[in-house]
Amino acid sequence: DGTTIVEGKLQGPIQHAFWNEDEKAWRVAGWREELLLSTQGVERIHMEEIPVHIMWKDQGAILLLNNGNWIDSAFGPIQND
């Protein structure tokens, strides 16, 4: 309906983002940062590498970094009420 629920300012361009319906949240791979945008607010983790892709796996997310490595997301699954 066009209602803004949460806003977040990023350090640079978004590499990848996806909406997780179960969590009711956006997971964002930004410029040397990983973000989680939900009705609970914006959480941000600084990274040395650039995350270029986010994939959901086994109740959590993994990130592909620009150096070719996959790592676990710093954010576990969100517990919704």
pLDDT in tens, 6-52: 777 788 899 999 888 888 889 999 999 999 988 888 899 999 999 99
Q: What is the DSSP code (8-state) at residue 32?
A: T
Please, what's the b/e burial string for 32-50 (b: 16 or more CB within 10 A of its CB; e: otherwise)?
bbbbbbbeeeeebeebeeb
| 1 pLDDT above the threshold of 90 | no
| 78 pLDDT above the threshold of 60 | no
Q: Does the residue 57 lie in any domain?
A: yes
Q: Does the residue 78 lie in any domain?
A: no
Q: Does the residue 25 lie in any domain?
A: yes
Q: Does the residue 68 lie in any domain?
A: yes
Q: What is the per-residue pLDDT for 76?
A: 76
The residue ranking higher by pLDDT, 56 or 28, is 28
What residues pair up with 44 in beta bridges, in sequence order?
35
Split into its structural domains, the chain has a count of: 1
What is the span of the domain harbouring residue 28?
16-72
